[in-house]
Amino acid sequence: MIKLKIGDRVKFLNDIGGGIISGFQHNGMAKVLVDGFELPYPVKELISDADDESEKNIENKKEEVLENIEEQHEEEIPLIEKYKIAPHEAEVNQHKEINLEEKVKLKIGDRIKFLNGVGGGTITTFQQNGMAKVMVEEGFELPYPMNELIRDIDNESKAIAEMIESSVDTENKNEEVLEPLEEEYEEEIPLIEKYKVAPREAEVDMHIWRLTDNYPRMTNGEMLNLQLGFFKHCLESAIENNFTKVIFIHGVGNGRLKQEIRTILDEYVYIEYNNASMEKYGVGATKVLIRHNK
């Protein structure tokens, strides 16, 4: 098969249409520009859209891809074999190995990383049922089970070292290290400012691959909750910072995200919304107008 590269026009093996490759990701995924939006697709399901390719060639390539997939499955080692400790015996540890230093009791303000996912953040509060709220790098809070969080010792040590090195007055070094994290957040740029396109106006792309690289491992429910949490934070940030217009690009999909967004917007008496420009966004965006003389 022809090796694909950025800029190639491609067709989808198992779907209608195609687009242009705009980038490659890990786990054999590629980003394809389709109707102005980037969508993730497995590289194995893409073929070059050369003008001189016949339908017969396409079918041959499809068969070749399916054969390769079948061969890979046949050659894969059974999952349980990875945990084999003796003939017909295995030992499975549900969690990764954790350093003893990382097992210390977590508290608000701790930098953490996720045991069963990519990335991390800072603990902002604790909830019942063994849950904690984590401020992730994208700038909003997400709930996580406590047993899936561990202290990010490396990042904490690095942050403390940088704070000490930048201190001029050695007598105040300890105070600078122990400054509340709330002051750090107060100095950050408001979330909505990151999406500003004009004075008091913003455009927010809510496609899941814009929010996290971890989406291939997430369920539909988890992706929806992340998108709705991000939407609420952006909306509140827009209200607090006197923005008057925000375009939320939610895509088409099955319409669930759009429906949930509009249900939330209905709770605000000083907010109006309707479909954004069809010419620019198609049917995949909602225009939100905020009145501040509430």
| Alpha carbons 133 and 122: distance in angstroms, whole number | 8
pLDDT, one tens digit per residue, over 135-174 is 887 777 787 788 888 887 666 555 555 555 555 454 555 5
The residues facing 11 across adjacent strands are 18, 47
Same domain, 249 and 162: no
- The residue among 186, 217, 232 that closes a domain is 186
Same domain, 178 and 259: no
Does residue 182 belong to any structural domain of this protein?
Answer: yes
Q: Which residue type occupies 51?
A: D
CB 102 within 8 A of CB 154: no
| Cα angle, residue 95 at apex, residues 30 and 89 outer, rounded to 5° | 105
The residues facing 204 across adjacent strands are 248
Lowest-confidence pick of 164-178, 183-197, 237-251: 164-178
Does residue 94 belong to any structural domain of this protein?
Answer: no
Rounded (10°) CA dihedral 86, 91, 96, 101: -90
Same domain, 198 and 272: yes
Same domain, 180 and 200: no
Strands in the chain per DSSP E = 9-12, 18-24, 29-34, 37-42, 46-48, 84-86, 89-90, 111-114, 120-126, 131-136, 141-145, 149-151, 196-198, 201-205, 245-249, 271-275, 285-290
| Alpha carbons 136 and 5: distance in angstroms, whole number | 33
CATH number where 280 lies: 3.30.1370.110
Q: Which residue type occupies 148?
A: E
Does residue 3 belong to any structural domain of this protein?
Answer: no
Average pLDDT, the chain: 76
Same domain, 198 and 271: yes
Same domain, 198 and 278: yes
**In which domain, by residue range, is 260 found?**
191-290
Lowest-confidence pick of 115-124, 170-179, 205-214: 170-179
Q: Which residue type occupies 132?
A: A
Lowest-confidence pick of 106-110, 150-154, 248-252: 150-154
Does residue 126 belong to any structural domain of this protein?
Answer: yes
At residue 243, the pLDDT reads 95
